[in-house]
Amino acid sequence: MKENRFNRSFMLPRYWLLWLGLALLWLLVRLPYPLLLRLGRVLGALMYRFAGRRRHIAQRNLELCFPEKTATEREYLLRENFASTGIAFFEMAMSWWWPHTRLQRLVQVQGLEHLQQAQQDGRGVILMAIHFTTLEIGAALLGQMHTIDGMYRAHKNPVFDYVQRKGRERHNADAIAIEREDVRTMLRHLRQGRAIWYAPDQDYGAKQSLFVPLFGVPAATVTATSAFARLGKALVVPMRQSRLPGGKGYLLQVEAPWQGFPGADEETDCRRINQWIEQAIEQHPEQYLWSHRRFKTRPEGESKVY
């Protein structure tokens, strides 16, 4: 991907309002961490009230994935999920602008040795992650300890894209942003022994997916994880991050590389991935990105769920 450079066109009047918003956010994020958590919950409550479409999607996902819960339990989980999403807004700014030393005081990490060993062995790593609301800050925290390349899709607004990339790249001085469609470059980097962040838990349509259960619901699950591991001669290393209760920071968990992956067939691999995703979500269901239309693509003959 081309170098992230400031362009004089970014100072055109049409971007002034965005610059003002970013400046206000830069000032707000200087506040103490506990206060930012509270502000995030307030923002989440506002989003719950006014973001009706996203609220409906998240509510429907919770109904599909947790039918055993009562309506009251799901409503509580929904509100907590919006609170987590609001907090994530400030965590994004923290990861972009907080000094490294301030961020490091909030992190606990388990299993970093798995990435270090793969690097010593010259093995590429697919760092298999999940779209939790803590994704941005989790990547920033891990990026300070180990070089991670990322699959990247440019933001439509060039100013926001510039600021976002600037904030992300400062944690990984030698990291490489790879266009999401540039599979050839991704495979080359895996063969060169690099670690690449990749999340297989979203609906990318039926063309390159298989329908396998996720919380008992047929979900279009990409087969690319198996293909990347096989063609890139790479290890699959699951990784998750979570926000700790009581304002105690974040826990990063890097698991041991999966043995026997890819397996005998893609369907078995996809089932294994979705079972792992279920287990990870069940630990912190309020922190998952439920506003994504995970079950948008339906098997032939089945009605839409949203």
* Domain locations along the chain: 8-287
* Phi, psi dihedral angles at 235 (to 5 degrees): -80, 150
pLDDT at 5: 87
pLDDT at 213: 98
Cross-strand partners of 198: 128
pLDDT in tens, 48-96: 999 999 999 999 999 999 999 999 999 999 999 999 999 999 999 999 9
pLDDT in tens, 208-252: 899 999 999 999 999 999 999 999 999 999 999 999 999 999 999
pLDDT at 1: 62
Say if CB 139 and CB 148 are below 8 A apart: yes
> Is it the case that residue 177 has pLDDT exceeding 80?
no
Q: What is the mean pLDDT of residues 262-278?
A: 96
CA distance 220 to 146: 32
CA distance 271 to 293: 19
Say if CB 77 and CB 66 are below 8 A apart: yes
